[in-house]
Structures are given as structure tokens and as C-alpha cells.
Amino acid sequence: MPPEKIYEDLSLVRRRANTVFWVIAGLIFLALSYYWKIQVVDHKKFSDLAEANRTRQRALAAPRGLIRDRNGEILADNRASFKVSLIRENVKDLEASLVAVGRLLEIDVETLRRRVEQYKDLQQFEPIVIKDGLSSVDVAPIESRRLEFPELVVDAEPQRFYPKGALAAHVLGYLQERTPEEIRAEPDRAVRAGEMVGKTGVERQYDDILRGEDGKIIEVVDSLGRVRAEKARQNPVQGGDVVLTLDRRLQAMAEEALEGREGVVVALDPQSGDILALASFPTFDPNRFITRFTPTEWLQLTNDPLSPLENRAIRGLYAPGSIFKLVMSLGGLGFGYVTPETSVYCRGSIEIYGAVRHCWFAPGHGSMNLADAIKNSCNIYFYTLGRRMGIDMIAMAAGRLGLGKKTGVDLAGEKEGLVPSSEWKTRTLKMPWYPGETISVAIGQGQLQVTPLQIAALTALVAKRGERKRPHLFLSAPAGAKSGPADDDGAGAAAAEPPFKPAAFENVIAGMWRSVNDGGTGKGAFVEGMDICGKTGSTQLVSRESAERLSRAGREIKTHSWFSGFAPRDNPRIVVTVLVEYGGGGGATAAPVARRIFELFREIQGK
């Protein structure tokens, strides 16, 4: 063999071996890096996953704080109940599970399906509440079939309860489940699915105080989800109590007086602004909202033509009728258009701006000074005053007295109402103001819109001779509670000085006293020894011509009925405002309702 053939050329083999070596070394490095990542970098993640396979965390709902009236009576309480939740992680066939669960819990499958779809973005292991408000008897069949339904979890939780039923429902408000959108809107706060929060009334206004802090419990479970041990527990902290200015006795009387009618009763203390009663009728039972509505039930309630969910006291907009004559009187005196002795002769009608205007008392009242005009609610006097003042001065007087703006009450959703002016009409309707429209506004008709609470606040302002107090429901709560809504830019702020001189208020009060105590239109509110001052009003819903035409056709035309007054005349302690929709004359309908409130207040004060 030739010498050059003795040694084989192994360079190619060496190169290939070297390549294989580095490939294997790279693979080993990647494997070691991956194991290092799992064991070191992602240690907590996989540890938590492993722990999740043997533990389950449950939220412990915090009991809401109690709501009490000013005398300590409980208006909103809590009671023990159970809820059933569905954990999708434990479901093999969701559709089959929904059918079986629906049959067990007597829930429509479509309702269950919508419920699960609503929370589809939650983690699979997070429970979805599908039924609550259950008793121990109700949950016994579920617990007995735990092996058959591992996806169901039964928890005890405190449930809101209103022991007085519908009493003060519009003040207290109601709870509803926090929506997924609301949950996502609070990423910095641990919010559990199915949590109930205040949606209206005091429950909403003071939800941060009433809600408390949820606790949690970590349990060790087996492969079937059965609890084997408790690993850790953090107890919930109950929310703080809120004490309201309401007096349960006055509130109950106000609602009883409105039974079967649509309307509002407001009673407040003019010295402090404390709301003693705030009744809106028709009403509702807030206990209905604790267990979740079906879509059909919710639509039936919201589409009710009587609007039982609407708080007419702060959201109902009405023409004030002759109640507005208090504003006209103060404006006329304050701006110098009349004096207490200014006399106007009432013949029952008057021609103004080419149109005949009528007084409600067809024969006419004769010669009327200011106090007489308030006592008898004489339209002719205030038609004449309205012509003298003009719409812009009327609007200025109403604005000074708090109309056309929120009172600042600590309830969400309050409306501002409307005081028209020439500038308003030009800006909103692109039309000029006509003098004839002023005459309607002068007796509380036309485009004027007020809420009953605004009228109560106006009456309190008159009773205090121009000193303003913001109406409020908050009496006391734990530190940190708000005393009013965040958007309180209404008339609630204390005025630096009275809107008119005290003498103007005294002259108006003299007429209000005569209205109740000297045979005036407010005599239906008279209570012996209470020295009540008041003013009636009737809101005309159709024109006089239309009313006469319908009357000739045999159809009864009723107006909204108003009364607003205070007692006693000096150092007043209570304001009562009553609105009865379609109640007819204020003296015949609203004033007797107010009398019942005044009588009960005197009885309470006498104890």
C-alpha cells in the first residue's frame, strides 16, 4: 500500500462531530435555561397554579351598614341568606350543565345562559352567582347532590333587608348587581362578581360608607371541589351605619296620606334643613331588588305608566301654580313695584294685552291689597303685578329665591327645573318673548317648572325671613361620609345676605297666615293653636277655553293640587309641602293632607 494511503483524511468527520457537539450543547443549554426559568423565574406562577389545584378562595361579603331614622329606628337592615354560584372550571359540558342546574334550581335555562354569558370575561375558576336569597331549606337539596353538581358552590352571605317594606323607598333607594362594565371601570379595587351596590337614593349616595370591606377564606379542596380544610381566613368588616334626618312616624303618615294617589309630601325643619319626611307616590318595595330580576320583571316595572321608580320630589317637574305668587309678592316688594298697601280691584276678569284674563273666583274679590291677594290667591292682583314687573324681573326674583337650580339635596338625580326669561327663549327657542306670556308666568303657569322639593326649600326660606338652609337627609355617619352630592352647585350654599329685606318676608307671611287662619284658600290646613302660614296652588293643565269646552261635554277637568306652608309663624319648626297630581283645588285636596302632617308633628313635639 502506498505510503500516502496509510492515513485516512478525517477532517470532514471532525468538522461534523464538532457541529453535532455544539448542537447538542446548545440543546442542553436551552433545556437547562428552560428548567431554570420554570424553577426560578416562574416559580411563583407555577406554585400558585399548583396551589390552585388544591385550594379555593372565596369572598366573604361584608354586611352593609344599617340605615336608621333620626330616632334610631332601622330602615335598612341585613339578614342571613345563601347564594348558589356556578364555577365553569368544574364543568365538562356547559350546555348540559345549564339544563341540569336549571332543573335543580327551577331557573329558566335561557336566563342561566344569559347570566353566564354576561360574565364570560371572568376567569374560569371565578364563581358566577346564579341564584341568591335562599334559606337553609332551599339549599339542602343542592348540598345533598354535591357530587352530582361539582360546579355548584353554596355560600352564606348577608342580604339587604328593608323591614318597613316600601316605607321611604325613594329616599333609601335600592341595590342592584354591579355590572361587568362597572367592575372593569374599577381596576384598582377588588370587586367580586355578583356584588350588590347602591343604585339610587341613600344607598347610592353613601355607598362608600355603607359597603364595608369584603373578607376572604382560602380552603383546601379535593379533586371534586369538596372542602377538606380551611387554610386562611380574613373576616369582612361591616360597613358604617348612616343616620338620616327622617322621622319614621312623619314619613309613614305622609305615605298613608298619599295612598292611592300620585303625588309628593315633603316635610322639613327650616331651622336646620333636616328633611323629616319625603314621600313620593306611587312607590315600590326595595326588597324586590335584592333577588335579581328577570328581564321580563324589570321591563314590567320600568314600563309601568305610573312610574313608581321615579322620585317625584326631586325629579318631578310641575308648574307651581299660585304657589308662585309668593315669588311675585317678594319680587314686587323687593324691587319696589308694589307696597303692602298697593290696592288692585278684582272684578273677576281683566283685559291685558288685548286678551281677557280671569280670576279663579268669577264674581271677583273686590279691592285687594298684597296680604288680601295672598290670602285669597287673587289672579287679577298678580296679573297686574306681572305686567308691571316684566318677565326678566320675575326671573330675577325667582332665581334669588332658589328656583331654576338644584337645592343641593344629598340625593343623586335632582332636576333643576326652569324659570323662563326673554334671554332663555331667544337662546333655546330662537323666538322673542311675548308680553302675553308674562301674564301666565305671573300666576305660576306657562313654561315655569319646579320640583316639590324646590317649593319646600322656597317655603323654608320665607319662614326664616330669607335665611337659606340646604335641605338634606344626612344626619350622622362614620368619619369620611359626604354630606351632599359631588355636584352640589345649587341653592344649598348659604347666602351671604337674604335675597330680599326681612320686611318683605314679613308682609308675605302676613298674607300666608291669613290664608290659613282667616278663611282664605288655605283654611283646609288649619290646626287650632299651631299658627300655620301657608299658600295653596292649582296647576292648570289645559287652557281655560279647552277646560270650558271639555266641561260642556261632561268631562271633569282636574288640576294638580298644591299646598306649602310652615308652623308656627314665629320661630318656625316645620315646613310641609304637598302636591297631589290631578287633585283639583289646592285648598280642597292638598291642604287637608298637610293638616294631617302638622297635627302629627304637634303630637310628636308634645311628647
Contact 535, 564 (CB under 8 A): yes
* Maximum distance among all Cα pairs of the chain, rounded to whole angstroms: 153
Angle ∠(218,223,227) on CA atoms, nearest 5:
40
The residues with which 309 forms a beta bridge, in sequence order, are none
Residue with the three cell numbers 333655546: 428
Phi then psi for residue 165, to 5 deg, are: 65, -125
Catalytic residue among 81, 85, 280, 322: 322
Distance CA 173, CA 259 (A): 19
Angle ∠(196,202,206) on CA atoms, nearest 5:
75
Type and span of the H or E element at 130: strand 128-134
DSSP 353-372: TTEEEE-SSTT--EEE-HHH
484-501 as b/e: b if 16+ CB within 10 A: bbeebebbbeeeeebbbe
Using CA atoms of 252, 258, 263, 267 in order, give the dihedral in degrees to the nearest 10.
Answer: -40
Q: Is 322 an active-site residue?
A: yes
| DSSP one-letter code for 316 | -
Count of H-run helices and E-run strands, the chain: 22, 20
Distance CA 285, CA 299 (A): 16
**Cα–Cα nearest to 61, from 184, 204, 160:** 160
**Cα–Cα nearest to 320, from 508, 537, 471:** 537
The residues with which 157 forms a beta bridge, in sequence order, are 81
Distance CA 454, CA 402 (A): 7
CB-side neighbour CA atoms (13 Å) of 4: 0
By annotation, the residues acting in catalysis are 322
